[in-house]
Structure 1
Amino acid sequence: MESGLSTLLSVSIDFETSHLFFPRIIHWLLACLFLLVLVFRVIPFLAAVRRGEHSLPIIGESMDVLRFFGTLALIAAYFYLMAAIGNLFPYTGYGFLFVSMAFVLLMSLLYMHERTRKNLGIAVVNAIVAPSLAWFVLAKLFNITLP
């Protein structure tokens, strides 16, 4: 009786695959949530489009070409420059800090409708404070290596 209970309470861990336990759970949860969204939101919306009650939000609407392609270009430049400048200052996070400041400022200017002195000041302060705070918390408090 005792040997049956001891085998029931013993745990063996396969260390070659144990790191995949939680990612598998997360993948299955995300897949189930995707199916729920598909069933309860997307399929009824597409049925309403087919009946003519709704229209597809992408087709037939005007597009802000400057902001769309400007955003894509800024994101691509952000990742490229973060690695390039990060290589100049390895293991300091300055690549993240300096490029994030420029990125936040340029994105703010791209989406700013009225460029008043007050709005520009707010954008500059935000571009300096937000990345600096993120850099301080991640790089200095948590010792996370940033590019």
Structure 2
Amino acid sequence: MSSHSLFEVNVDFATSHVFFPKIILTLMAIMLLVILFKNLAAIKHFIIQEGFISVLFDKGDDRVRFFLCLVITSFYFVSMEYVGSVYPNEGFGFLFCSVPFLIVLSLLFAKELCRRVWITILTCAVIAPLLVWYVLGRLFGIALP
């Protein structure tokens, strides 16, 4: 029989990184349901008058970039998990996947591609993930994929 103390904390590091995302996703789902429930009549009226697609997009919205952004982001999360499993507990999944993700996403939304824009995109795409990886993963010891 083991004794437990109020001042003793046991952390299962294999699953500790999934605790807060589950809480956040649950809270976001609850808030979405509350928002939909409170505005159900207005949403129903708008869909009947304007059509379902007009609820999602305004005229002139760039749907191609929107859907490409969803595809790129989905690929980013999947690849980050895969690379993270190749190099476990190092945060390299985050680091190695964030650089190309930021480059591709920045290129998708760039209005013009001159030398200055390329330099800015590449600099930010390398420095930002490195900084986040170092501060969160190394200084604070937060588990990154």
* TM-score band w.r.t. shorter chain: 0.5 to 0.7
Structure 1 residues 74-109: Cα deviation after superposition (integer angstroms, max 9, x where no partner): 111011100111111111111100101111111111
How many angstroms does 1:64 deviate by?
Answer: 1.5
Q: Which residue of 2 aligns with 1:115?
A: 113
Unaligned 5+ runs, structure 1: 1-23, 48-55
The percent of aligned pairs where both chains have the same amino acid is 32
Q: How far, CA to CA, are the matches of 1:77 and 1:92 in structure 2? A: 20
Amino acid at match of 1:138: L
Residues 1:73 and 2:84 are matched in the alignment: no
Amino acid at match of 1:94: F
Residue deviations 1:45-86 (CA, integer Å, cap 9, x gap): 999xxxxxxxx7745512313311210111110111001111
- Relative to structure 1, the CA distance from residue 37 to residue 87 in structure 2 (aligned partners, 3 Å threshold; closer, same or farther) is closer
Distance in 1 (alpha carbons) for counterparts of 2:99 and 2:93: 10
Cα 1:36–1:67, aligned 2, differ >3 Å: closer, same or farther? closer
The TM-score, its normalising length taken from structure 2, stands at: 0.63
Cα distance in structure 2, aligned partners of 1:98 and 1:124: 14
Amino acid corresponding to residue 110 of structure 1 in structure 2 = L
Count, aligned residues:
121
* Structure 2 Cα separation of the partners of residues 143 and 105 of structure 1: 26
RMSD of the alignment, in Å?
Answer: 3.4
Report 1:38-77 matches (<5 A). Answer: 58=56, 61-77=59-75
CA 59–106 in structure 1, closer or farther in 2 if over 3 Å, else same:
closer
Larger Rg: 1 or 2? 1
Gaps in structure 2 of 5+ consecutive residues: 1-22, 46-53
The structure whose RCO (Cα within 8 Å, separation 6+) is larger is 2
Tell me which stretches of 4 or more aligned residues in structure 1 moved more than 3 Å.
33-38, 40-47, 56-60
Q: 1:91 to 1:69 in 2, by over 3 A?
A: same
**What is the alpha-carbon distance in structure 2 between the residues aligned to residue 37 and residue 125 of structure 1?**
39
Aligned residue among 113, 131, 137 for 1:133: 131
Distance, in Å, in 2 between the alignment partners of 1:117 and 1:128 is 17
Q: 1:9 — aligned with what?
A: none
Q: Determine the C-alpha separation between the residues in 1 that align with 2:33 and 2:71.
A: 33
In structure 2, the CA distance between the partners of 1:35 and 1:125, relative to structure 1 (3 Å rule), is: same
Letter in 1 for 2:144: L
- TM-score w.r.t. length of structure 1: 0.62
